Structure 1
């Protein structure tokens, strides 16, 4: 009898250990992102030179440092011609991409349908908080900036969505989800709560 009880206890312990170590493969693919507002003097010098040379007639410039897993990058947020832009730079201050905030009506119908189909399959409930049209640094930098500032739709653009979603019985969490121009899923990362915008590091 003691042997049976001991055997059952051993099985229960192994089962609990297995459950504890289990990781949802979808969550394992997620990267975590957190950004902090910083002073202009803390921004990479190479990026500041790029901004001075290429960005004119911009307002409300704000500087951020973003930590995405083990990777660090920098981001400039600004308003130009009544539109909001985010310009991302590598840790060294090299131009990475530029994003423009848009509305869902600005996304091609077929692409938006593809995006919402993915979100409905991924979450039991969700809300799209923000959509950004992204132009990546796969062309000459000034050409990308000109295209972005004209808000042109090209086959190379991506859609970066900030989504507040809930999976089954879990609580709501915020995700940064990237799609290509056709609305096909590319990658996800979970956003940690940002520090208040007025906090400087």
Structure 2
């Protein structure tokens, strides 16, 4: 009779552990060679982009998936183009500053940060163009013209302080600055970087 309650307890414990675990992003990024990048993704970049500089290729693993990222510079802006394992486009992100965000949008983001953290420092801010509802051509055109659209997201990485000290957080907001999701990030891994 004691075996049944202990099994139920074990199932509940594992379920709760998984829920807590899902909030964390165990992301690791490794620099890779062009030959290790999905061929379909390289073809997509070559078809949709011209005159870019300093392209670098990365493989990114986190607790839920593997993805590939091409980072490059075009027209004095830094872009990150993310693909899934099969080479399908997931999103394009542009490294931006707070002054690049509409005032009302940034005010909403600040309101969320001030409410949820006793202190914080912005490490990285990106404007994100997802490929979910658009064709490849439209997504590339929108991102590389740096258009502000109602479908954009903003991804912010901060060092934030809550009750238990400082942690890195990755927070996503919609085009109006409304909170979408948050994940705790581990520091990036620089052990296997290719130079």
> Can you list the C-alpha shifts for 1:25-52, whole angstroms capped at 9, x where unaligned?
7875343322121111111111111112
Normalised TM-score (structure 1): 0.81
2:89 is aligned with 1:95:
yes
In structure 2, the residue matched to 1:154 is 149
Per the alignment, do residues 102 and 82 of structure 1 end up closer, same or farther by CA in structure 2, a change over 3 Å counting?
same
Q: How many residues align?
A: 178
In angstroms, what is the RMSD of aligned CA positions?
Answer: 2.1
2:163 is aligned with 1:168:
yes
Unaligned runs of 5+ in 1: 1-21
Q: Map residues 122-137 of structure 1 onto 2, 5 A cutoff.
A: 122-137=116-131
Per the alignment, do residues 68 and 40 of structure 1 end up closer, same or farther by CA in structure 2, a change over 3 Å counting?
same
CA shift for structure 1 position 198 = 7.4
User: Greater CA deviation, 161-170 or 80-89?
Assistant: 161-170
Larger radius of gyration: 1
Unaligned runs of 5+ in 2: 1-15
> CA–CA distance in 1 between the matches of 2:191 and 2:72?
14
In structure 2, the residue matched to 1:17 is none
In structure 2, the residue matched to 1:108 is 102
> CA–CA distance in 2 between the matches of 1:53 and 1:124?
46
Q: Map residues 1-201 of structure 1 onto 2, 5 A cutoff.
A: 29-137=23-131, 138-170=133-165, 172-196=166-190, 199-200=193-194
In structure 1, the residue matched to 2:12 is none
